[in-house]
């Protein structure tokens, strides 16, 4: 059980901050810190509450609501946490796809379509597969490599990346 | 998937939409291999039916879930790929191309299928530029009587947005070179410099 649920960065809180003008990657980065760090013993508490969309929605609020739902779907599946029902609401499927700014040519888009996890593509978000890289896990794998006697920095990195790919697929 | 399979699955999807209470027409535009099979009489198979939505945001939001559920129901009943009705091309190209209204081809209950002009399919296929697209382009060029690169470029300019052409120059050039020959373009470029 997390001690101070009112102060921790739940997904609902992150979304609320995004709608209030916070930089999305800051709000979601804080959520990620909770998920991988101080809140990891009760992850369901971080995602149970649905995001609350403002009455006057915009493309920005719609997109980020869908992104939050996709993130919860993705993380719950990956870390065997029960997935809350709210993420499956069809309002979180974007009617117009969301590509990163740089994805203006078809080959980049096809590549993103292939690498983006299904939790995101199902909602028409094509963001690639490196958004929820876990620096905490990375650090553990680096230590694990060293414990195995690997000293070359390049080989340590390769070991950690292979672990990452084997678990997260990218 | 053959022509009769496509019609059969679309018919079943129309029924599924009705079962799910959809009464307002759902408009989709048929493109890709299914278009080639049904509307150009090309002897080939296709793995899926590529479509573009013709719905505005509100209509699409309303129809999306019943459609997705209906597509899965048809897939399960016929033991086919759940992605048999595929709108990936639209997701890839939605802000890169013009989407024409097309003409009503057939209606299966509330499911209204529209067909774009052949020249639109040709422009999309030049733009996509995969091997199977190029093969389809050859058929379309013949059926439409298009013989020059300039004629093809007119179609591209009509349907593919300028920025999209600029950001995908390499693919488009490659397609045009295969279809119309590289030498012609080189000669043209050389001539322009003189």
Q: A17-69, pLDDT tens digit by residue?
A: 999 999 999 999 999 999 988 999 999 999 999 999 999 989 999 999 999 99
pLDDT of residue A5: 57
Are A72 and A84 contacting, i.e. CB atoms less than 8 angstroms apart? Answer: yes
Report residue B41 as tokens. Answer: 């009489």
* Residue that the structure tokens 């999306």 belong to: B64
Percent of chain B with pLDDT strictly greater than 70: 94
Tell me the nearest-neighbour CA distance from A166 into chain B, angstroms. Answer: 27
Read off the pTM: 0.82
Examine the pLDDT at B194 and tell me if it is beyond 70.
no
- Name the DSSP class of A163: H
* Contact yes or no for A104 and B167 at CB 8 A: yes
* Contact yes or no for A95 and B167 at CB 8 A: no
- 3 state DSSP class of A37: helix
Note the residue count of chain B: 194
Rounded to whole angstroms, the Cα distance separating A165 from A94 reads 28
**Nearest by Cα to A35 from A4, A8, A70:** A8
Q: Which residues of A touch B163 (CB under 8 A)?
A: 104
* Contact yes or no for A96 and B57 at CB 8 A: yes
More confident residue, B16 or B61: B16
- Sequence-ordered list of residues with C-beta below 8 angstroms from that of A111, at least 6 positions apart, any chain: none
Are B185 and B149 contacting, i.e. CB atoms less than 8 angstroms apart? Answer: yes
More confident residue, B6 or B43: B6
* Contact yes or no for A113 and B167 at CB 8 A: no
Mean pLDDT of chain A: 88
pLDDT of residue B43: 82
B192 band by pLDDT with thresholds 50, 70 and 90: very low
Residues 78-107 of A with CB under 8 A from B: 90-91, 93, 95-97, 104-107
Least trusted range by pLDDT, from A154-163, B131-140, B149-158, B171-180? A154-163
Q: Which residues of B touch A122 (CB under 8 A)?
A: none
**Cβ density class B171-180: b for 16+ within 10 Å, e for less:** bbeebbeebb
Are A27 and A14 contacting, i.e. CB atoms less than 8 angstroms apart? Answer: yes
B84-135 pLDDT per residue, tens: 999 999 999 999 999 999 999 999 999 999 999 999 999 999 999 999 999 9
């Amino acid at each position: 059980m997390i001690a101070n649920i009112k102060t921790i960065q739940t997904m609902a809180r992150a979304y609320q901050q995004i709608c209030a003008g916070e930089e999305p990657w800051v709000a979601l980065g804080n959520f990620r810190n909770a998920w991988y760090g101080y809140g990891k013993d009760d992850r369901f508490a971080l995602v149970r509450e649905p995001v609350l969309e403002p009455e006057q929605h915009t493309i920005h609020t719609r997109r980020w609501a869908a992104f939050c739902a996709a993130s919860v779907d993705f993380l719950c599946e990956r870390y065997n946490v029960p997935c809350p029902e709210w993420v499956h609401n069809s309002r979180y499927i974007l009617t117009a796809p969301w590509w990163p700014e740089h994805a203006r040519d078809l080959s980049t888009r096809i590549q993103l379509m292939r690498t983006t996890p299904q939790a995101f593509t199902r909602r028409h978000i094509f963001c690639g597969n490196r958004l929820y890289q876990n620096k905490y896990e990375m650090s553990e794998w680096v230590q694990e490599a060293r414990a195995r006697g690997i000293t070359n920095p390049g080989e340590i990195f390769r070991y950690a990346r292979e672990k990452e790919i084997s678990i997260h697929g990218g | 998937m053959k022509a009769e399979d496509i019609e059969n699955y679309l018919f079943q999807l129309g029924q599924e939409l009705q079962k799910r209470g959809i009464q307002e027409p759902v408009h989709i535009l048929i493109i890709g291999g299914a278009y080639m099979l049904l509307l150009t009489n090309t002897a080939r198979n296709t793995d899926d039916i590529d479509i573009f939505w013709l719905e505005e945001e509100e209509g699409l939001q309303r129809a999306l879930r019943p459609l997705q559920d209906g597509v899965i129901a048809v897939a399960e009943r016929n033991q086919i790929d759940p992605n048999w009705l595929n709108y990936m091309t639209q997701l890839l190209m939605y802000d890169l191309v013009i989407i024409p209204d097309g003409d009503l081809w057939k209606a299966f209950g509330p499911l209204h299928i529209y067909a774009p002009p052949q020249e639109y399919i040709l422009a999309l296929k030049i733009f996509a530029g995969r091997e199977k697209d190029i093969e389809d382009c050859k058929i379309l060029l013949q059926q439409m009587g298009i013989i020059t690169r300039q004629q093809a470029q007119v179609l591209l300019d009509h349907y593919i947005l300028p920025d999209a052409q600029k950001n995908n120059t390499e693919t488009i050039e490659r397609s045009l070179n295969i279809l119309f020959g590289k030498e012609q373009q080189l000669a043209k470029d050389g001539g322009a410099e003189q």
